[in-house]
Structure 1
Amino acid sequence: MNFIETFKSALQSLTANKMRSLLTMLGIIIGISSVIAMSAIGKGGQKKITGSLAKSGFGVYEISVDTEHDNYRSAFALNSSDVSILENTENLEALSPYVFERVDFKNLKNQDLRGAIFGTTPGYEIIDELTYTMGRAILSSEYEEKVPVIVIDNITAGKVFGKENPLGKKISVNFRELKKTVAFTIVGVFQHPDAGMNQLGLSRFMPSFGRISLPLAERILGIDEYSSILVKASNPTQSQVLLSNIITELENKNVADIYEYEERVSRGSSFNEVLSTLNIFVTFVASISLLVGGIGVMNIMLVSVTERIKEIGIRKAIGAKNRDILFQFLTEAIVLSLSGGAIGIFIGFAASEIFGIISGIEPILSANVTIASVFISTLIGLVFGVYPARQAAHMNPIDALRNE
């Protein structure tokens, strides 16, 4: 008997008992649909959570030099050549060197407001995005031309200018270590990163913040090196790979073991690993029902062998070999499992989409999980169909023909 005839015979046997076949497939359907749905929902939930963390700095690392290391030399300070080396690193969404300087902002009464200024690049706006309450960010042309413009936080704007519109006005900034005061034109006002403290009446304890262009900061400070370099991964879950590549590049240029890094979100990567492990665990628990479905397939195939003993005897009597009988029953088991798998995949896709609409979590359907589901369905039919098929194949034809 060739494959096509065997396949047709298997379909006829299964369709002859539609309800029994459907109930047998139920375990496979539930198992496959559960695996697909739980995997899609789990990955979607993980992406949503890590996406929220990313806004707070997850996947963002601050690279700096350990100036206390025995091998440190001033020539190893981070500079523009380091930035050029790192710009083409794989999985890098944004990169920004910056300098940090403690300053005093002068209010209209010439009083000092303690704070800090960051000299940044346009990439910094991607990595540490600000919410502007007034005005705009520093323009690319203003970065390049070292225009003395600044963006300040809203708390500082209120302390200095009261209810007046600060845009276009000058603010004096005293660079303490340089003992130099520089006037900047305000082009934007952003929400203070600790704005929640203001609602508790703690604004007087909140430091002032401002951002100017990095080239301008270098000119004012008279330096050509950076405090740190911020890097942001395109895929936060792969940030450790990005970090490893960056440290390797820097060490190849200079010397090993002098570079330090710190994640902007404490324990963010560890939290992501917990989510990944939890997702795998939940998917594994859902897949246990596949074992139950496999046992159901074996059970129904044993019943089928018992019901068709006389048919097996007749087929053997007219020349069917053991391998023909074995192949026929194995085919029936595989077709049963694959049919259940196909229905399970469809239900899994539908269930994950419906849950996504209800919960607001966009499910992430994986091609690998779908392919694995098809493979598992086939494997279940093969593994749990072997025993019943062997029972049928090794049956004595004389005893089979005598069976009533």
Structure 2
Amino acid sequence: MFIKENFKMALDSIFANKMRSFLTMLGIIIGIASVIAILAVGNGAAQEITSTFSDLGATTINLTANRTDDPDEALTQEDLVVLKDSIDEVRYISPNEQIAGTASTEMDSRQAVVSYGTPDLQYLSQAMSSNLVHGRYFNQVDFDERNEVVVIDTDGAEALFGRTDVVGETLTMSITQSRFDLRIVGVVEGSFASMQGAFDADQIPLFMAMPQSTIGQRVPQLAGMNSVIIEVQETEQIEPVSNQVVRLLELRNDAVGENVYNARNFLQALDQVNNVLSLFINFIAAVAGIALLVGGIGVMNIMLVSVTERTREIGTRKALGATTKTILIQFLMEAIILSLIGGMIGLTLGILLSNIIAGALNIVPIYTLGSVALVLVFSTAVGIFFGIYPARKAARLNPIDALRFE
């Protein structure tokens, strides 16, 4: 009954001065709305980014040799064969190197990006599609015999020959100081259609793929393997396979404990990206939360004004038997209710604002139970913290002095 009466009195006081109460809550409303909108949109954007990158490499491992200047410790084709044969979870393995060059035919000459690796490159390359339109991908025979073959995409076929079915045709490739002919054995889907509107066709380089052994023979400085991509069958296998790969290479090349080989997986990089995004989002939310401090000061200010205006009322109540505790709780509850109402309005406004912003950015806002609970807890904490001083001041008024107050 005591709590119910104080609650009613607090509401009466708040609604008796609607405009003043609203202006008092404004800082809290803005602060809460800003924090909710930033967290929801930020978490939604982070989820969109991580899911996009996760689709690109959720089961891949990037293997490198730290000291490739030592031939005994560099990655070799024999290492790749041993890794694939010894570790059942390894699905594909290939160098994933790229070099810029110029591809030319009698019809045209264009800049080209050449990817080179083992036949498994078909499934590991992010530069080219794995979907064949004509012919085949280069195979193990091409790799072992260093056949001068190449796979191009439909965009490159159209640019260099004016048609897509160009299997069996020959193009001339120029890389650094080397110039040699390559026979086209396959054509994969092109990616220009997805880039249209951002670039002109002539601005986009052609994409091609060829055996690493072939390009190493024609351009000797490219014969080494600086990095290798490994794809495992399941995401859960990434960590154990990474450890197996490093351990096997160290034993095979007598480099145990020398930290020569490094197997980094995409999940590690993804965790680092998530940590940076979370830090940035929380920092911006904390800056927006400064408005809550301003709002709390506003609550304290208006409560001090309220104590001054109601000094005679406080004196009358104390003369009629109200205790110091009763007066303290009355004004403290009023401050808490002001903050809670502001918090609820801010929460509603923040959800509305985040949906508008997220819709414009084409992402899905993410609301967590923790962020909603934080709003309510923080609103209550603001009311308690900034309401204590005015409430204590009201509770400590001398009833005689209060009744004499003009």
Please classify the TM superposition score into its range, dividing by the shorter chain length: 0.5 to 0.7
Residue of structure 2 equivalent to 1:166: 165
The root-mean-square deviation of aligned C-alpha atoms, in Å, is 5.7
Deviation of residue 384 (structure 1)? 0.5
Asked if the contact 2:332/2:387 (under 8 Å) is kept, the reply is yes
> How many Å apart are 1:289 and its aligned residue?
1.5
TM-score, with length taken from structure 2: 0.64
Q: 1:227 to 1:34 in 2, by over 3 A?
A: closer
Task: Name the SS of the counterpart of 1:128 in structure 2.
Answer: coil
* Structure 1 partner of 2:346: 344
Aligned residue among 238, 259, 262 for 1:260: 262
- 1:333 CA displacement: 0.6
Give the deviation of 1:44 after TM superposition. Answer: 4.3
Report the counterpart of residue 153 of structure 1 in structure 2: 153
Deviation at 1:302, TM superposition (A): 0.9
Q: What are the superposed Cα offsets for residues 166-187 of structure 1, whole Å, 9 maximum, x if unpaired?
A: 27x55799xxxxxxxx999636
Structure 1 residues 211 and 69 mapped into 2: Cα distance closer, same or farther (>3 Å)? closer
Q: 125, 128, 136: which one pairs with 2:126? A: 128
Going from structure 1 to structure 2, the CA distance change for 1:199 and 1:228 (only over 3 Å counts) comes to same
Question: 1:97 maps to what in 2?
Answer: 93
The answer to whether 1:199 aligns with 2:202 is yes
Instruction: Tell me: CA distance 1:73–1:48, structure 2 relative to 1, closer, same or farther (3 Å).
Output: closer
Matched, 1:313 2:315: yes
CA distance 1:54–1:198, shift in 2 (3 Å): farther
Q: Report what 1:188 is aligned to.
A: 188
SS in 2 for 1:97: strand
1:7 matched to 2:7? The reply is yes
Distance 1:191 1:337, change over 3 A: closer
Shift in CA distance, 187/35, structure 1 to aligned 2, threshold 3 Å: same
Q: Is the 8 A contact 2:84 2:92 kept in 1?
A: no
Other-structure match for 2:253: none
Describe the SS at the equivalent of 2:285.
helix
SS in 2 for 1:210: strand
CA deviation vs aligned residue, 1:348-398 (integer Å, no higher than 9, x gap): 111121233345454444443332222221111011101001101111122
Aligned partner of residue 135 in structure 1, secondary structure: strand
Residues 144-170 of structure 1, C-alpha deviation per residue, up to 9 Å, x if partnerless?
A: xxxxx995334664588x345427x55
- Output the TM-score relative to the length of structure 1: 0.64
Change in CA separation of 1:349 and 1:81 when aligned onto 2, cut-off 3 Å: farther
The secondary structure found in structure 1 opposite 2:63 is strand
Partner-residue secondary structure (3-state), 1:166: coil
Deviations 1:16-44 (A, max 9, x none): 22222122111111111122223333444
In 2, Cα distance between the equivalents of 1:299 and 1:393? 17
Cα displacement string for residues 89-133 of structure 1 (whole angstroms, at most 9, x for unaligned residues)? xxxxxx85225699xxxx999xxx9965444659946x7274589
Secondary structure of residue in 1 paired with 2:22: helix
Distance 2:113 2:247 in 1: 40
Query: Which of 376, 383, 393 is 2:385 aligned to?
Result: 383
Residue 303 of structure 1: how far off its partner (Å) = 1.5
Q: Residue 260 of structure 1 aligns to a residue in which SS?
A: strand
Give percent identity, aligned residues only.
Answer: 35
How many residues were matched structurally? Answer: 355
Q: For 2:388 and 2:40, how far apart are their aligned partners in 1? A: 32
Where in structure 2 are there 5+ consecutive unaligned residues? 99-103, 107-111, 140-148, 172-181, 212-224, 251-255
Contact residue 37 and residue 352 of structure 1 kept, 8 A = yes
Instruction: Please tell me whether the aligned partners of residues 157 and 189 of structure 1 are also in contact (alpha carbons under 8 angstroms).
Output: no
- Equivalent residue number for residue 324 of structure 2: 322
User: Residues 45-89 of structure 1, C-alpha deviation per residue, up to 9 Å, x if partnerless?
Assistant: 55566777779989976223446679959999451377656x8xx
Alpha-carbon distance in 1 for matches of 2:113, 2:341: 71
Partner of 1:27: 27
Instruction: State the distance in 2 between where 1:346 and 1:306 align.
Output: 33
1:136–1:189 CA contact under 8 A, matched in 2: no
Give the Å deviation of 1:316: 2.6
- Whether the 8 Å CA contact 1:100–1:227 is kept in 2: the answer is yes
Distance in 2, matches of 1:199 and 1:268, equals 34
Counterparts of residues 53-72 of structure 1 (less than 5 Å): 62-66=62-66
Find out whether 1:80 has 2:84 as its counterpart: yes
Shift in Å, 1:347: 0.5
**Structure 1 residues 156 and 35 mapped into 2: Cα distance closer, same or farther (>3 Å)?**
closer
Q: Counterpart amino acid of 2:21?
A: S
- Tell me which amino acid in the other structure corresponds to 1:25: M
Q: Which residue of 1 aligns with 2:399?
A: 397
Deviates more, 1:356-365 or 1:186-195: 186-195
Give the gaps of 5 or more residues in structure 1.
88-94, 144-148, 174-181, 213-224, 236-241
Mapped to 2, the partners of 1:297 and 1:319 lie a distance apart of 28
Structure 2 match to 1:370: 372
Sort the Cα spacing of 1:22 and 1:329 in 2 relative to 1 into closer, same or farther, 3 A: same
Question: Higher mean Cα deviation, 361-370 or 333-342?
Answer: 361-370
Q: 1:361 to 1:227 in 2, by over 3 A?
A: closer
Q: Secondary structure at the match of 1:190?
A: coil
Classify 1:156/1:344 alpha carbon distance in 2 versus 1 (closer, same or farther; 3 Å).
closer
Task: Determine the C-alpha separation between the residues in 2 that align with 1:81 and 1:313.
Answer: 90
SS in 2 for 1:376: helix
Task: State the partner residue of 2:208.
Answer: 209
Look up the match of 1:37.
37
Residue identity opposite 2:30 in structure 1: I
Matched letter for residue 209 of structure 1? M
1:27–1:321 distance in 2 versus 1, CA, 3 Å: same
